[in-house]
Structure 1
């Protein structure tokens, strides 16, 4: 009897230790469909098909990225994979600004146990450390299933408020809005700026696919809250898809938040970015010529 109790104790301790040491890594590929520019204007000029093709190709390159998610039972870090730029493809300041406006940052740390996150961001030459509570989505668990990389996944949907500082949420204005703006421009009330061609929806629908076979409350970016690792997320324009999973690798990764930058809440950071974007927009409003250069 004593021997059996001892074995049960050892087994329980081993399970606790295994959970404590559990760690995984997931690779995610992100792709965002660039907005269409047909019929749009930049300054006092129409965007030609050649300009349109060039802009869309440049944006496509900047919007296709690879990220690494390292996770354990209670926390994770999500970071863009470092790559050497191909000569002649550098986009300089434009790339940095676009990165900041596409949810970009350094290390995105999620603590699902305490429901907080920390992410270091650089914007307009300043370093910020955004610390805030994890957004809680009201996930609706669906019955639909599919396989991703050999894992059985289940569908979940949610609706979230669109961020005004994430360029991926920008949508081309509909025809009615364009007609109103065109009427104002014709009457001399305003001049067309490149950014005036876009608007941001109030809400966006999120579709996620998670697998209970990896039982962690984690996912890419700030997504979490499902009974299994999220392997795919789509908001209609952007798709984040897991391409590789490694569980309990021999070499462990230290999962901890960054400490560099001025500590700021998400709300205050968004207000700072929006203010600078508006200043930039007003400074360029009415200027003749094409859209901001995308690098040479």
Structure 2
């Protein structure tokens, strides 16, 4: 009877620990960007200036709060210095639509949710959690104090994933006349998407640790037998810089509720339609200006 009571106490204690278990991981995300857009070669000074302007969008710090079944992933709040943050209001609004919003993942129920704000409207993107077919590579490396194991997978790319955009190839760009190159630049200004390609899928390399045996990770990445500490996908690297287990002040890990609920596909259509609307307005103003000039 004493042994039965003892085992009951152990099981109860383990259950309570599992319910209260929580951790916090900090990730640094960095994306490199190709500077040769529209076939134009930029000077070193031009590239440096653009990189400085884009730094706020290409280099970010995220926080992953996790327990055994769910997690939230959001950008660390920071105060921008005057003059930072890239372009003005419209440009920032457009870039924000491509940037990652706050995410919630529930690996038990297979749900991923993301909050977005686009042109003043709040959206709640809800979909099934995509599952990657991970291949265990057998390699190891140390990240901080954690021994990590390598895994790779092919991942389908979202059609509006800004971090995966690349200049459209111009096989005969060197043969073009100055006038043809000028027209390409005008076209790029009117329709930025005409100048970019987004790959259908990319190779993802992840490093995970068995020291924290949960199948969570940064962003939409998950599904390995330990916490993912590093991800390399195309031109983006996400690296964990700090982990706090069972922090004194625990952030609530709850599914978001605010915003119009849409699927990822529906949200992408909303963004593309708005982009088309803005391009049409731009073209209309351009034609009106030329008409007034002739008059």
**Shared fold (TM-score, shorter chain, > 0.5):** yes
Larger RCO (CA under 8 A, 6+ residues apart): 1
SS of 1:100's equivalent? Answer: helix
Structure 1 pair 11/131, CA: closer, same or farther in 2 (3 Å)? Answer: same
3-state secondary structure, aligned to 2:216: coil
SS of the residue 2:187 aligns to? coil
Aligned to 2:201: 203
Q: What's the counterpart of residue 130 of structure 1?
A: 125
Partner SS for 1:192:
helix
Shift of the 38–48 alpha-carbon distance from structure 1 to 2, 3 Å rule, reads farther
**Deviations 1:77-127, CA, capped at 9 Å, x for gaps:** 11111001112224442233213213x21x211011000011110012211
Match of 1:119?
114
Contact 2:53 2:85 in 1 (8 A): no
Answering whether residue 169 of structure 2 is matched by residue 174 of structure 1, we say: yes
Q: 3-state SS of the aligned residue for 1:8?
A: helix
Residue 26 of structure 1 corresponds to 25
User: Structure 1's 285 and 214: CA in aligned 2 closer, same or farther, altered over 3 A?
Assistant: farther
The whole-number CA distance in structure 2 between the counterparts of 1:236 and 1:90 is: 24
Q: Trace 1:1-296 onto structure 2 (pairs within 5 A).
A: 2-37=1-36, 40-41=39-40, 47=42, 49-91=44-86, 92-93=88-89, 94-102=91-99, 104-105=100-101, 107-176=102-171, 178=173, 186=180, 191-194=186-189, 195=192, 196-281=194-279, 283-284=281-282
The answer for unaligned runs of 5 or more in structure 2 is: 287-295
Q: Which residue of 1 aligns with 2:293?
A: none
Conserved 8 A contact 2:71-2:253? yes
Single out whichever of 193-202 and 246-255 deviates more from structure 2.
193-202
Q: What is the aligned residue count?
A: 278
Q: Per the alignment, do residues 192 and 48 of structure 1 end up closer, same or farther by CA in structure 2, a change over 3 Å counting?
A: farther
Distance 1:119 1:159, change over 3 A: same
Distance change in 2, residues 1:178/1:273 (3 Å): farther
* Partner secondary structure for residue 36 of structure 2: coil
8 Å CA contact retained: 1:25, 1:68: yes
Higher helix content, 1 or 2: 2
Provide Cα deviations, 1:145-169, integer angstroms capped at 9, x if missing partner.
Answer: 1111211111111111221211101
CA pair 114-179 structure 1, distance change in 2 beyond 3 A: farther
* Secondary structure of 1:223's aligned partner: coil
Paired with 1:189 and 1:237, the residues of 2 have a C-alpha distance of 29
Q: Structure 1 length normalisation: TM-score? A: 0.85
The farther-off stretch of 85-94 and 255-264 is 85-94
How far 1:13 sits from its partner (Å)? 1.2
Report if the CA contact (8 A) 1:141-1:156 is conserved: yes
